[in-house]
Amino acid sequence: MTFLRNKHLEFIKNLENSTEKESFATEHLKTSAIYWAITTLDILDCLDLLDQSEVIKFILACQADNGGFGGNIDHDPHLLYTLSAIQILATYDKLDLIEPEKIINYVKNLQTEDGSFKGDEWGEIDIRFSYCSISILSILKSLDSINVKSAIQYIRRCQNFDGGFASVPDGESHGALCFCAVGSLVILNGLDYIDCDKLGWWLSERQLPIGGLNGRPEKLQDVCYSWWVLSCLRMIERDSWINKEQLISFILSSQDTEYGGIADRQGDIPDIFHTLFGVAALSMLGHNKNEFEEVDPRYCMTTRVTKRLDL
């Protein structure tokens, strides 16, 4: 199957008005849904498809008094949505519209004694929140405001004997959490502290005979792991350990030929989350090079953006 570029652009354009689940109307994660959409557009070199001033107006309205951003207007702030908001502003080159100190303070106050991060004031701890904090502070050039040493120590404690990473120490290894760990460590220059061969082995075991990758043993293949797992393999320079042609075919087979968009796997309903990670993975896999902007595996933004920010 070929890459259905125009269909996907149509799919994204329709998200603006759609009331379907997983559209922008999905109330509680609208901020992240917009990040998934505009990053897809940036990879396809079509950032202008959505109204930039509308998006920015909405994002700025999601900021809470404590500096963090919510998933929608008047929703409680959370690190997940704060990262999405910063990524959107970074992509549009509009970081000058926010007060960095407020956001830096918000993030740094969520770091705990052992180096981990809470997602918000309610206190759930997860390696995802380490990644969000580290990515945000790196974009804002303020990594010195947290305890980097203990942040690295905590992430190391999340690596299991099988080589994979879990959300907390002694949890189950998961492909998406490997991305959070490795992305954080690469940004912090801490990759030397972990066993990359063991990790690479566990990650490459994620490819199934059908070509797609799963997130953990015994689970089904899913397009989003094409990003989580492949970006990780790329960061540890072991992406040759999987079969790229088979993975490309799997992603292309998960496209919705009628309405556009990419689903988790063939036959399922497409959504903007899997559309981004499918498109980002195709870019990283070098599929039709002239059709895709290059993506930075550390940040899941185009290298055009991360280079401009000197990251």
Residue from 29, 59, 224, 229 binding Zn ion (CB under 5 A): 224
The burial of 51, by beta-carbon neighbours within 10 Å (0-12 exposed, 13-18 middle, 19 or more buried), is given as: exposed
The continuous run of DSSP H or E covering 281 comes out as helix 272-284
Kindly state the smallest distance separating residue 26's Cβ from Zn ion, in Å.
15
Compute the radius of gyration of the chain from its Cα atoms: 18
Stretch that binds ligand GRG, among 125-133, 148-156, 184-192, 285-293 (CB under 6 A): 125-133
300 binds, among Zn ion, ligand GRG, none (CB under 5 to 8 A by kind): ligand GRG
Candidate list 30, 78, 118, 174; residue touching ligand GRG; CB under 6 A:
174
Q: Using the rule CB under 5 A, which residue among 42, 205, 222, 296 binds Zn ion?
A: 222
Q: Is residue 264 at the binding interface for Zn ion, with CB under 5 A as the rule?
A: yes
Question: How many angstroms separate the CA atoms of 91 and 8, rounded?
Answer: 20
Site for ligand GRG in 196-215 (CB under 6 A): 215
- Binds 132: which of Zn ion, ligand GRG, none (CB < 5-8 Å by kind): ligand GRG
For tokens 């269909």, name the residue: 7
> How many whole angstroms separate alpha carbon 70 and alpha carbon 27?
11
Residue type, 100: P
Q: Which segments within the chain are labelled E, that is strand?
A: 295-296, 301-302
Q: Residues 98, 176, 281, 285: which binds ligand GRG (CB under 6 A)?
A: 176
C-beta separation of 235 from 186 below 8 A:
yes
Of 206, 231, 234, 258, nearest to 14 (Cα)? 258
Nearer to ligand GRG, 188 or 300 (CB): 300
Q: Is 205 in the site for Zn ion (CB under 5 A)?
A: no
- Pick out residues in 213-232 that bind ligand GRG (CB under 6 A): 215-216, 219, 222
Q: Which residue is nearest to ligand GRG (CB)?
A: 176
Cβ proximity to ligand GRG, 10 vs 142, nearer residue:
142
Whole-angstrom distance, CA of residue 251 vs CA of residue 265: 8
Q: Which does 264 bind (CB under 5 to 8 A by kind): ligand GRG, Zn ion, none?
A: Zn ion
